[in-house]
Amino acid sequence: MAVPKKRTSKTRQLKRRSQIFLEPPPLTSCQNCGREILPHRICPFCGYYKGRIIVDFLEKLSKKERKKEKKESEVKNP
């Protein structure tokens, strides 16, 4: 049977157990599309940050996909 050679200090023991109490990160909703995102980040779905477009995802899409995305955003934001 395996037996530890030295005693584990309280600090090492608590460092190992600190992972038990981790919480999920707080999420906020995107002002443009309304999806859940991490705060202070560009929305990975629509490319907006603080109401301004930073990354234009529609530019990279094909014509059909672009039309579909515009329709979806109009339905969410009348």
pLDDT in tens, the chain (78 residues): 788 899 999 999 999 898 888 888 899 998 888 889 999 999 888 888 888 888 877 676 677 777 777 777 777 665
If one counts every other C-beta atom within 10 angstroms of the C-beta of residue 32, the result is 19
C-alpha 18/C-alpha 10 separation (Å) is 12
Q: What is the pLDDT of residue 51?
A: 81
Q: What is the pLDDT of residue 76?
A: 63
